[in-house]
Amino acid sequence: MNWKHKLAYGLFSHCGNYYKHRREGLRILAYHSVGTPAYRDEMQLYDVSPLMFKEHIATLAKYQELYISSLANTAVANGKSGVAFTFDDGYIDNLRVVAPLMEEYEYPWHIFVVTDFIKNKKKGFMTPADLRELSEYKCVTIGSHGKTHARLSVCDDLQLKQELQDSKKYLEDILSKEINSISYPYGSANMRVIDSARVAGYKVGCSSHANINHSNRDMMCLSRTPIFSYDTTRTFEQKMFGMWDWMKYFTCDPLVSG
């Protein structure tokens, strides 16, 4: 995080007039781990504590006008505000902490897993048995986060095909379900990656571009709002209502950058 980002956090964290900044559309929240050290997270940005996550969920529940949506339901962007939950990488805490809470509130959510982490039983991540257990929850949708967590935009054609197709096939084989969604690792995507994901059979793709989504947004390049380990309930509310959408200027939109 650079100094401008830190300064903005300090200034905006004291603002409380959420509705003044409210933007209609589909707000997709991007989480990672909830109580487990996150992958390659030297700055400890992505491990939200279980207590804070529970506070986020409880805070959201008081806003009855917000529709808790799946990623496929972009229709909420037409005159309504929707919120969708996503989790990247495939941490074991997503099964132990997140899944039961989402079932309790009956909130739909997506998890995108790195299949080599699952297959090789990497420490801190789910095993194939864990993933099958997770798939039995009614509120969850499982998608791909690539085969090895590679930066897809710098992969050659063969590696890109393997990252997209092998991960999809592996998940479909062990879950006996169609896998049609993907989150691009590191937000590393361009039109070549997006088009290749379409060819591989994906219908929904999530980027790391920080913004809200409207009904005309390409479903293969949905924007997401990152949730960090230091996001208090106040900051969480502000992000839901668009007060942090200035972050789009610090992130890459694959649809614009090509």
Output the six-digit token pair for 227. 């949730």
Residue 17 belongs to a domain: no
Per-residue pLDDT band at 3 (split at 50, 70, 90): very low
Residue 10 above 60 pLDDT?
A: no
Strand positions, DSSP E, the chain: 25-31, 66-68, 81-89, 109-113, 140-144, 181-183, 204-206, 225-226
Read off the CATH number of the domain in which 81 is found: 3.20.20.370
Average pLDDT for the chain: 90
50-86 residues labelled b (16+ CB within 10 A) or e (exposed): eebbeebbeebeeeeebebbbbeebebbeeebbbbbb
CA pair distance 213, 120, nearest whole angstrom: 35
Higher pLDDT, 69 or 152: 152
Higher pLDDT, 72 or 250: 250
Residue 60's domain spans which residues? 25-249
Total count of domains within the chain: 1
Residue 255 belongs to a domain: no
Average pLDDT over residues 26-47: 96
Residue 230 belongs to a domain: yes
Residue 254 belongs to a domain: no
Higher pLDDT, 226 or 214: 226
Q: Cα separations (Å) of 172 from 24, 115, 117, 166, 167?
A: 35, 11, 16, 10, 9
Rounded to the nearest 5°, which phi and psi values hold at 81? -110, 130
- Taking only the tens place, the pLDDT of each residue in 90-143 is 999 999 999 999 999 999 999 999 999 999 999 999 999 999 999 999 999 999
Please give the single-letter amino acid code of residue 9: Y
- With a CB cutoff of 8 Å and minimum separation 6, the contacts of 255 are 191, 194, 218, 221
- Taking only the tens place, the pLDDT of each residue in 197-206 is 999 999 999 9
Higher pLDDT, 253 or 215: 253
- Taking only the tens place, the pLDDT of each residue in 161-185 is 999 999 999 999 999 999 999 999 9
Residue 6 above 50 pLDDT?
A: no
Output the six-digit token pair for 75. 């229709």
The per-residue pLDDT for 70 is 86
Residue 145 belongs to a domain: yes
- Find the helix or strand (DSSP H, E) in which 199 lies: helix 191-200
The per-residue pLDDT for 61 is 86
The per-residue pLDDT for 218 is 94
Per-residue pLDDT band at 78 (split at 50, 70, 90): low
Average pLDDT over residues 208-215: 92
SS3 81: strand
Residue 254 above 70 pLDDT?
A: yes
Residue 8 belongs to a domain: no
The per-residue pLDDT for 2 is 46
Residue 3 belongs to a domain: no
Residue 11 belongs to a domain: no
Higher pLDDT, 151 or 70: 151
